[in-house]
Amino acid sequence: MRIMALDPRFGANYVPSSGWFYSWLDYDGDAVRRDFADLAGLGLDHVRVFPVWPWIQPNRAIIRERAIDDLRDTIDAAAEHGLSVAVDLIQGHLSSFDFLPSWMLTWHKSSLFEDSTVRDGLTAYVDTVSRAIAEKPNLFAITLGNEVNNLWPDSPTTLGSSTAWAGELLDTVRKAAPDILALHSLFDDAWYKADHPFHPTDVVDLGDLSTVHSWVFNGVSRVDGPMGPATLSHADYLVELAAATSLDPARPVWLQEVGVPGPDIPVALQAEFTRRTVEHVLPNPALYGVTWWSSHDIDRRLLDFPDREYDLGLFTVDHERKPAAQALADVIASVRSNGVPVEPAVTTLTAPVNLRAEPERRAEVAPGSEFHLQWVAARTEGPVRITLP
């Protein structure tokens, strides 16, 4: 039997309300505390935060202590509001932008995943930051980075190299912060794209628990629209794929990102989508927790973001609670009062492909595939577990 947290965790991916992540360049601890007050008011218990790698290590020989101090203050600010913290290290990729240090670009251009010089610099960064925050009592996890597989087209790699890269850096985190969860984060091409150079087993074998990111603009919303069963159950589907692929039946799965992207989910439907998506996934016995993307909107005075990125927040930049935030708060209050609903009878389906052995056949479980549609149809009748052949 899989083990789940008796009290599932609820949190938000922290996007600062003032200045987006550019705010790390001109840090304002008071503004951070105002943002965290918003989130604590929803009943959340944690935040996931994103220091920007090249702003901490602008030169391979320089790791800026002041930038680390700002990160430490952010963790302290969360503690003041009763929030624990997960820190992502390699940004890497945020809201459609890539952030890489100049010492691996231009005439230094090399692969993040395969170049030994880059690896040496990155290892020093991971080690230094992890050690600097390890003793914070409200720190519970360090993730290597936010969807690092978004960086591969400009950083060539292979299935073997990407796995070895993550494994070595996770070892660095564990040595530097032995009492903290060490995690690896990938977006869902690792599950669905036949030629993707990151293996599904990276999610379920590396790190101390599995993480999945559920975004319905990956094609699932085109299956049956914004409130169709495929769209509403996609988060549960990804959690289930991860649980099925793990060799450890008790390994938890953290729904580390899920949100309400427009135009896939129209504004008028976002509260209902939030409630029903979370209610679908909560009874899954593998679930560790749900962390919403994101905490706050992006100020539209900032230019050149994809339009959907501006309005993903639970709060506006003026700290107004949005309908999705209220829906999430209502679900949290219900769970805290009544617990997670008991699952009815469960159906089991066997996937057409062993994702551990045949990653080149991943498309056979992708949104819209025959198996996915079979799972969705069964899921309308109740929970569905997946097994691999």
Residue 57 belongs to domain with CATH number: 3.20.20.80
- What's the rounded mean pLDDT across residues 176-195? 97
Note whether residue 97 is domain-resident. yes
Average pLDDT estimate for 13-40: 98
* CB-CB contact of 259 with 298 (8 Å): no
Task: With respect to residue 150, please indicate whether it lies within any of the assigned structural domains.
Answer: yes
* Vertex 59 angle, CA 68 and 153, to 5°: 100
Q: How confident is the model at residue 1 (pLDDT cuts 50, 70, 90)?
A: very low
State residue 332's pLDDT score: 98
The mean pLDDT of 326-348, rounded to a whole number, is 92
pLDDT in tens, 294-324: 999 999 999 999 999 999 999 999 999 999 9
Evaluate whether residue 382 is within a structural domain: no
- Three-class secondary structure assignment of the chain: CCCCCCCCEEEEECCCCCCHHHHHHHCCHHHHHHHHHHHHCCCCCEEEECCCHHHHCCECCECCHHHHHHHHHHHHHHHHCCCEEEEEEECCEECCEECCCHHHCHHHCCCCCCCHHHHHHHHHHHHHHHHHHCCCCCEEEEEEECCHHHHHHHCCCCHHHHHHHHHHHHHHHHHHCCCCEEECCCCCHHHHCCCCCCCHHHHHHCCCCEEEEECHHHCCHHHHCCCCHHHHCHHHHHHHHHHHHCCCCCCCEEEEEECCCCCCCCHHHHHHHHHHHHHHHCCCCCEEEEEEECCECCCCCCCCCCHHHHHCCCECCCCCECHHHHHHHHHHHHHHHHCCCCCCCCEEEECCCCCCCCHHHHHHHCCCCHHHHHHHHHHCCCCEEEECC
Whether residue 383 is contained in a domain is answered as no
Tens-digit pLDDT profile for residues 262-286? 999 999 999 999 999 999 999 999 9
* H helix count then E strand count, the chain: 13, 12
pLDDT band at 134 (very low <50, low <70, confident <90, very high): very high
Residue range 2-19, pLDDT digits in tens: 333 458 999 999 999 999
| Share in percent of the chain as helix, strand, coil (round to 5) | 45, 15, 40
What's the CA gap between 76 and 27, in Å, rounded? Answer: 14
pLDDT in tens, 200-253: 999 999 999 999 999 999 989 999 999 999 999 999 999 999 999 999 999 999
Q: What is the pLDDT of residue 3?
A: 32
Tally of domains within the chain: 1
Asked if residue 152 belongs to a domain, the reply is yes
Grouping H, G, I as helix, E, B as strand and the rest as coil, residue 88 is: strand
Q: Which residue segment(s) compose the domain that 262 sits in? A: 9-345
Q: Is the dihedral angle over the CA atoms 289, 46, 226, 94 positive or is it negative?
A: negative
Nearest Cα residue to 205 out of 178, 183, 230, 188:
183
Residue 51 pLDDT exceeds 50: yes
pLDDT band at 343 (very low <50, low <70, confident <90, very high): confident
Between CA 150 and CA 333 the distance in angstroms is: 35
